[in-house]
Amino acid sequence: MISTTTNAEAGDPYIFISYRREDTMAAARGLLRFLYTHYGKARVFMDIVEIRRGADWKKSIKEALKRATVFVPIIGPRWLTLTDEHGRRRIEKDDDWVAKEISFSIKSGKRIYPVYIDTPILSKKFIPKKLSSLASLQAFEINKYNSTEDVWRELCKSLHDQDGLPPLLRDVAYPRAKVRLQPLANSELRKRLEGMDGWTTVASPLPGAEHVIRSELHKRFEFSSFNDAIQFMHNAASGINDRQHHPRWENIWRNVDVWLSTWDIQFQISELDISLAIYLDDTARQVRNGIARAAIK
C-alpha cells in the first residue's frame, strides 16, 4: 500500500514516467531524453535510470510517486495483455506495480497524461475497476499518422500551460529553402571527396528531433595556436555569409571542427557542402601561410 500523502512542493513540478519494460521501454527512454533536454534531470523520474543498484527499488518508486505532480503512463500494444508465468494478466494482480502506480496517482489527484503508442485507447470494461477512470482521460496518441516528436512537444505544451513547467527551449531557426537541390548519391559523394584531405562523412541525430538523422561532412582543422584557429573562423565568415550556406562548427583550443550539411534538403550532403569545404580548405591554408590575416575586432 502506498500512502497518499505527498511531499511535492508547490511550484516544483515533477514528472513520473510509468511504462512496462516489455511493452514501451524504447518510447519511455525517448520521452525521458526529450524531457531531460528541455527541463533537466531534476524534474523527471524513470525507474531504470533513477534507481541505483543496491537501492530499495520499491521505496524509491514510492518516494518518487509521492513527490510527483504529473504522471505519464505510456501504454503500448502489450500493456494490457502481458501475463505472469501462470497466464494471469498482470494488470489484475495486486502486486502489479504499474497498476499500483496508476491507482495511487488517481487517488492522490495527480494530473495524468496517458500516452498510447500504436494501440487503441483503453476501454473501461477491460481494466480493473480501480483503474477505470484512466480510460476516460484525454490522451496523447502516437501512431502512423503522426510523429513521436510532435506528440512529445504537444505533451510539453500541456505541461507548460497546465502544470507550470517552462516552455520548450527555443528551436534553432533554420533558414527557409531558397534553392532547389538534390543530395549527392553515395557514388557521387565518394568521387567528389577524392583528393579532399581530411573530409569524412558522419551521421548524427538532430538535437531536439532525434528521429531526424543528419548526414554531414566533417573535418578537424588543426592550427599552430588558438589565435590562428580564431583567425581561420574570422576569415572564413565573410565567404560563408556570401554563399548563404553556414557550417556547424566548434573551436576547442587550436582546433576547429566543422560539420557541413544542407538544411534545405533535410540535412543531407549537396554540392553546396562540397563547395564550402573547398573554400574552408583554402582559407585554412592562407591562415597557416600567414596570408590575409585580417584584424579581428
What CATH number is attached to the domain comprising 266?
Answer: 3.30.1360.20
Measured between alpha carbons, how far is 163 from 106 in angstroms, rounded to an integer? Answer: 16
Residues 225 and 263 reside in one and the same domain: yes
CATH number of the domain that 80 lies in? 3.40.50.10140
Residues 45 and 86 reside in one and the same domain: yes
99 in a structural domain: yes
Measured between alpha carbons, how far is 75 from 17 in angstroms, rounded to an integer? Answer: 11
Burial of 177 from C-beta contacts in 10 A (0-12 / 13-18 / 19+): exposed
* Beta pairing, strands 44-45 & 15-18: parallel
Q: In angstroms, how far is CA 198 from the centroid of its own chain?
A: 30
- Where does a domain end: 115, 148, 163? 163
Residues 274 and 198 reside in one and the same domain: yes
Residues 147 and 251 reside in one and the same domain: no
Residues 44 and 152 reside in one and the same domain: yes
CB 252 within 8 A of CB 238: no
168 in a structural domain: no
Q: Where are the alpha helices (DSSP H) in 5-85?
A: 21-39, 47-50, 57-67
- CA distance readout (Å), 209 to 38, 149, 206: 12, 6, 5
40 torsion bin: left (phi>0), alpha (psi -120 to 50), beta (else): left
Task: With both helix axes pointing from N to C terminus, report the angle between 148-163 and 21-39 in degrees, rounded to the nearest 10.
Answer: 60
200 in a structural domain: yes
248 in a structural domain: yes
Residues 133 and 209 reside in one and the same domain: no
10 in a structural domain: no
Q: State residue 19's pLDDT score.
A: 96
Domain count, the chain: 2
Burial of 60 from C-beta contacts in 10 A (0-12 / 13-18 / 19+): middle
Averaged over successive runs of 10 residues, the pLDDT of the chain (297 residues) comes to: 46 88 92 89 89 86 94 95 93 94 95 95 91 94 87 91 79 56 90 94 83 90 96 96 93 97 88 96 94 49
Q: State residue 280's pLDDT score.
A: 98
CA torsion sign for 155, 158, 164, 167 is positive
7 in a structural domain: no
Q: State residue 27's pLDDT score.
A: 93
Residues 226 and 151 reside in one and the same domain: no
The residue written with cell numbers 476516460 in the block is 136
**What are 282's three cell numbers?**
583554402
Residues 209 and 260 reside in one and the same domain: yes
The residue written with cell numbers 499500483 in the block is 100
3 in a structural domain: no
- CA distance readout (Å), 106 to 61, 97, 101, 112: 16, 14, 9, 8
DSSP secondary-structure letter at 264? G
Residues 208 and 274 reside in one and the same domain: yes
- Where does a domain end: 106, 131, 163? 163
Residues 29 and 141 reside in one and the same domain: yes
Residues 25 and 113 reside in one and the same domain: yes
Domain that holds residue 126: 15-163
The dihedrals phi and psi of 258, each to the nearest 5 degrees, come to -125, 135
- Where does a domain end: 163, 197, 218? 163
Q: Would you call 173 helix, strand, or coil by DSSP?
A: coil
Q: State residue 175's pLDDT score.
A: 58
Measured between alpha carbons, how far is 293 from 287 in angstroms, rounded to an integer? Answer: 7
110 in a structural domain: yes
CA torsion sign for 257, 263, 265, 266 is positive
Residues 24 and 64 reside in one and the same domain: yes
Measured between alpha carbons, how far is 163 from 161 in angstroms, rounded to an integer? Answer: 6
- CA distance readout (Å), 160 to 150, 157, 273, 286, 293: 15, 5, 39, 50, 49
Q: State residue 208's pLDDT score.
A: 67
